[in-house]
Amino acid sequence: MKKFVFFILTLAFASINYLNSQEPANFTAEDMWKMRRTGAPAVSPDGKSSLFTLTGYDLDTGKSSTYIYLLDNESGEKTQLTFTGSESAPFWCPEGKQIGFISRRDDKPAQIYIMHSGFGEAKRITNLPVGVYAPKWFPDGNRIGFAANIHPGYDGNFELLEEIIDEQRESKVTAKVTENVMYRFWDRWLTDGFFPRLFSVTVDSGEVTDLMPGTSNYFEMMGGVSYDISPDGNEIAVSMNSVPRPFEELNYDIFLLKTDGSGDMENITPLNPANDINPVFSPDGNYILYGEQSIPHFYADQVNMVVYDRKNRTYTNITSGVDLSCEQWQWSADGEKIYFHAQLDAKKPLFSIPATGGNITEIFGDGNNNHLQITGDNTLIFTHDNLNMPANIYRVARGSYDIQQLTFINQEKLDRLNLGGVENVTYKGADGTDIQMFIVYPPDFDPGKKYPLVLMIHGGPHGVFGDQWHYRWNAHLFAEPGYVVALPNFHGSTGFGQEFAISIHGSHADKPFRDIMKATDYMVERGFVDETRMAATGGSYGGYMVSWIAGHTDRYACLVNHAGVYNTHMQFAADYTRYRSYQYSGSPWDDFNVLMESNPAMFAHNFSTPMLVIHGELDYRVPVLHGLLVYGIYKRMGIDSRLVYYPDENHWILSPHNSIFWYKELHDWLKRYLD
């Protein structure tokens, strides 16, 4: 696979003169949280406009506000449409005369609202005791589809559903009881009996129809749902788990669901043992495009695009010969092409491929691109961000490779900041394999001086430190105190081919550890790193690697372990345990010795490097006892350590105040050992 090697020590977006001749400012966590976040565009039926959201945070209250804007897809002019600050998920009616959105108003759960495109007062369409999400207008304009979580016992009666909710809320019993294998996920328990379903609501009358009566299963576990409504409005293609209770595993299949409320549905991918996701009807309704994985036990398995011929009931894998994992695909307006995104060498380009398969064309390869939308004339609208810039909306006109930036959100803030440069390099890692790595330099970097080095180790392990703006682990905030920051994409990272990603199964420690050591060697050899002042930092799997490093080398002055796996044995208490045995090549009941070979907890006798431990109580992906255990062992061993515990955060730190505090703790810890 090709590697991109380039050197950037000036920011592509930087202005030569700062606004109002201001001196460049240091970048702080407060600056980051004052930036507004651009949501996904929704293109109008005539292709001339897009709806999108902007979310901002009030640092006094810690609360967020989200507003909907209308964007001119030609000029980039934007107009604010909503003003309550509680809106999300904007979408268009088929004629383009009305828009819909989700809003939390009057202290009630999120409901669907619509307004005319002249735009004015919004009208509430649903009034349910539960929040709704994922709205889509039916092609005839008379109904809107949406999802909601309900208790099957409500039997179509929303007044009864409200009684069930009140009864659970007022119960003095706090016990959670289950016999399911999967009983909690991410930061929520799954023992309340609620399951997601698809519904429709008639726009004029407000009548709600349960489209999936009798169904009790899961859509996307992080809370969304991928579905599409057929052009004639008679069917919905939806991706849903097909494995019944006790949910020993998750296997997503594509179901064709009648929209008449009968609940009749057909599984059209029953023979594939792995996940089938994100169905999209062709413009003529004759085909369904969806994503297919083939290895059930590999969550980062490559996703191929498959076209299902509805008439002939045949399947065509149009990307079987391509070493890319596809995502966010859309049909062209004429149904002749498929446009999609896929990770490639730490970027996420925009691609196209004929709908029948064939050669892939890279349309735009820089940075991180998402939320692809296509107008009637095949103009492409999408969001783009990179290590130096938060997301904005861009366009590529039909038949052109000229990229036009339509929005310039946060530009004034960026122009006044003094951010360091970014370098994209390749070095030799484990077994002589090429390893891609970004280097982020501190402001005013001088290659003639010696700097502390901070290694950032990404999670997953099947993830990537891409050319993207990150709000939780922002590389510029790591570099700002005067540190050179290295972000290696070690073995197991995604976007470098299937073989590279799966190469660490059975041994999560070996090759990534060697890659990280060689990354450190490479940085020292560059001549501007002081090898007596180096730190290794990581979250989730990155925290696992930090604990592994603690037991296998003392070359770093300090370590930072955020939400890290410490004892692999305890990961069988995580939210999803189905394939742990495969990933580790062992389990507590079989090949236990193999499981322990890659267990950081087995090497505590070698610990000597100071460690900052950060963990959230609501982290069910890596249960909080991992953090408390490694911290307790450090303290009993008499080694410098510090614990930052969040009682109300999950695997991620999402509150503005908690995040700002997180960065302060990070900087204070690094300063203690690197300055």
Whether 378 shows a pLDDT value over 90: the answer reads no
Chain mean position to CA 486:
22
Among residues 317, 339, 356, the one where a domain terminates is 317
In a domain, 458, yes or no: yes
In a domain, 664, yes or no: yes
What is the pLDDT confidence band of residue 582, given thresholds at 50, 70 and 90? confident
In a domain, 49, yes or no: no
Which of 15-29, 211-225, 358-372, 576-590 is the least confident region? 15-29
Contact 370, 339 (CB under 8 A): no
* Phi, psi angles (nearest 5°) of residue 541: -60, -35
- pLDDT in the model for residue 135: 98
- pLDDT in the model for residue 117: 66
What is the pLDDT confidence band of residue 175, given thresholds at 50, 70 and 90? very high
Contact 383, 396 (CB under 8 A): no
pLDDT (mean) for 409-414 = 97
Whether 6 shows a pLDDT value over 80: the answer reads no
* Phi, psi angles (nearest 5°) of residue 628: -65, -35
pLDDT (mean) for 538-545 = 98
CATH of the domain at 585: 3.40.50.1820
Among residues 285, 317, 349, the one where a domain terminates is 317
In a domain, 154, yes or no: no
What are the structure tokens assigned to 416, written together?
């006044």
Contact 431, 510 (CB under 8 A): no
Percent of the chain with pLDDT over 90: 92
pLDDT tens digits, 468-489: 999 999 999 999 999 999 999 9
Q: Are strands 484-489 and 49-57 parallel, antiparallel or unpaired?
A: unpaired
Percent of the chain with pLDDT over 70: 96
- Domain range enclosing 262: 234-317
> Which amino acid is it at 129?
P
Q: Are residues 487 and 624 in the same domain?
A: yes
Whether 422 shows a pLDDT value over 60: the answer reads yes
In a domain, 26, yes or no: no
Q: Of 435, 553, 569, 455, nearest to 503 (Cα)?
A: 435
Whether 398 shows a pLDDT value over 80: the answer reads no
What are the structure tokens assigned to 426, written together?
């390749």
Whether 4 shows a pLDDT value over 80: the answer reads no
Distance (Å, whole) CA 614 – CA 669: 12
Whether 3 shows a pLDDT value over 70: the answer reads no
First to last CA, the chain: 40
Q: Are residues 300 and 446 in the same domain?
A: no
pLDDT tens digits, 484-535: 999 999 999 999 999 999 999 988 999 999 999 999 999 999 999 999 999 9
In a domain, 134, yes or no: no
Contact 487, 470 (CB under 8 A): no
What are the structure tokens assigned to 512, written together?
């990534």
Among residues 283, 317, 351, the one where a domain terminates is 317
Q: Are residues 313 and 419 in the same domain?
A: no
Q: Say if pTM beats, i.e. exceeds, 0.75.
A: yes
Whether 156 shows a pLDDT value over 80: the answer reads yes
Q: Per the structure, how many domains does the chain have?
A: 2
Coil, helix or strand at residue 496: coil
In a domain, 386, yes or no: no
Average pLDDT, the chain: 94
pLDDT (mean) for 60-86 = 96
**What residues have CB less than 8 Å from 331, skipping those under 6 apart?**
280, 282, 283, 289, 337, 338, 355, 374
Q: Give the CA radius of gyration of the chain.
A: 25
In a domain, 105, yes or no: no
**Burial (CB count within 10 angstroms: exposed 0-12, middle 13-18, buried 19+), residue 526:** middle
Distance (Å, whole) CA 570 – CA 574: 7
Distance (Å, whole) CA 369 – CA 349: 6
pLDDT tens digits, 336-370: 999 999 999 999 999 999 999 999 999 999 999 99
